[in-house]
Amino acid sequence: MRLMSSRLPLVALLLMATSAIAASSTFEPRGTWSASPKSSDPSTLNVQLRQGPHRNMGFTEPRASFQGLSTTDGATTFTLPREAGTFRFEGQFQDGQGAGHYRFDASNDFLKKMATLGYSDITPEVQFQLAATHVTTARIQALAALGYKQLSTEELIQSGIFDVTPEYVRGMSDAGYPGLSFKELVESRIHRVTPQRVKEFSGVGFAKLPWNQLTAMSIHGVTPDFVKQMRELGFKDLTQEQILAFRIHGVTPEFVKQMREAGYPNVTPDELVALRIHGIDHVFIRDMSGAAPKKK
């Protein structure tokens, strides 16, 4: 079976396209902002920065990172300090939702440090993006020490957007995936491949998968829990290709149970996939059984 190639999700493409648009037009270190609490984690704030119809950046930040932040109703001023510079916000909050104007004060010290690391051509918009994505000189140095030297400024920004940290690189190496390219690390992050996920797959019989197969599992939504459920239904020796085919074609634990109850207790993995491909389910079998001529 041909594995689906690793492709960037739409959100990733939009983020990277935003960076490209920003680099191609006049940059102004100011604009409007909006903010709202992240429903899944009230201790964080989702911030959107806008500089026009085609200049938007967003990030989620722990509330503790801001200085002077108050989300109570009324006027507000607060800052977000970064090594690359400081974001200064003013505006209003109401019912936990905020909006207003901001400006970005770039740090000259940051530019000097970047120059010592070989980045002497940092533009104002790149510095802004490095600040927004929280890329520090310490991260750049640590990644270089791990073999990722002289990354392009676009790659540095990607390391911030997708959280490619030295800790993540070391974790993936310890999990059995040393020497991944920077592009592979970004793809791993996009598809939520983590050292913990590698460990969980190993626990259900899929240890030391090739990197492209590991990412394919995540791309198609194969989880360790899904594998475990299928094992409990008696499919003890499923291959990686078979479990992928199950997810791609919609063979769920419920579907397996329905087909067995419909009179096919010994249906095989390949037969289950074929049934799904041809649109045959328990309802179809029931209807066909009802329409069959009765024997005299």
Answer for the pair 31, 49: CB distance below 8 angstroms, yes or no: yes
* DSSP label of 208: S
Which pLDDT tens digit goes with each residue over 123-155?
Answer: 999 999 999 999 999 999 999 999 999 999 999
* Residue 295 reports pLDDT greater than 90: no
Concatenate the DSSP letters of all residues of 166-196 into one string: HHHHHHHHHTT-TT--HHHHHHHHHTT--HH
Quick one: pLDDT at residue 11?
47
Work out the percent of the chain whose per-residue pLDDT is above 70: 89
Model confidence pLDDT, tens digit, residues 167-223 = 999 999 999 999 999 999 999 999 999 999 999 999 999 999 999 999 999 999 999
Q: How far apart are CA 66 and CA 98, in angstroms?
A: 14
Q: Is the pTM of this model over 0.85?
A: no
Q: pLDDT digit string (tens) for 8-44?
A: 454 454 455 555 544 445 788 999 999 999 888 889 9
Q: Measure the CA–CA gap between 94 and 91, rounded to whole angstroms.
A: 10
Domain boundaries, the chain: 10-134, 224-291
